[in-house]
């Protein structure tokens, strides 16, 4: 399973707006993608609510994983961007 560690780029962390943008993008993919913070179970990246439960603030490391490497890279790129700007 491909995975990639990235740093949260949004100034507000993975809260409402960034989580919604990531969840919408993940929901449009053909494969499942998951997000996790170190030490916690992964959550479905297609669920904004589940993303917000991670409590990932700006600068936190998040592990992005899934079955398709291109999909993992696409979601990882969103996690790294400041989506609240």
Per-residue pLDDT of the chain (85 residues; tens, 9 = 90+): 899 999 999 999 999 999 999 999 999 999 999 999 999 999 999 999 999 999 999 999 999 999 999 999 999 999 999 998 7
Q: What pLDDT is stored for residue 84 in this prediction?
A: 83
Q: What pLDDT is stored for residue 1 in this prediction?
A: 87
Q: Which of the residues 15, 23, 35, 54 is marked catalytic? A: 15
Q: Is residue 15 annotated as part of the catalytic site, yes or no?
A: yes
Q: What pLDDT is stored for residue 19 in this prediction?
A: 98
Q: Under 8 Å CB-to-CB from 10, ≥6 apart: which residues?
A: 17, 18, 58, 81, 82, 83, 84
Q: What pLDDT is stored for residue 59 in this prediction?
A: 97
């Amino acid at each position: 399973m491909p995975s990639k560690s990235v740093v949260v780029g949004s100034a507000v962390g993975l809260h409402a707006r960034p989580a919604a943008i990531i969840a919408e993008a993940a929901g449009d993919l053909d494969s499942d993608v998951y997000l996790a913070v170190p030490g916690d179970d992964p959550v479905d990246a297609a669920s904004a609510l589940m993303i917000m439960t991670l409590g990932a603030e700006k600068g936190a490391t998040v592990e992005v994983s899934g079955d398709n490497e291109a999909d993992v890279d696409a979601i990882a790129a969103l996690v790294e961007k400041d989506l609240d700007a």
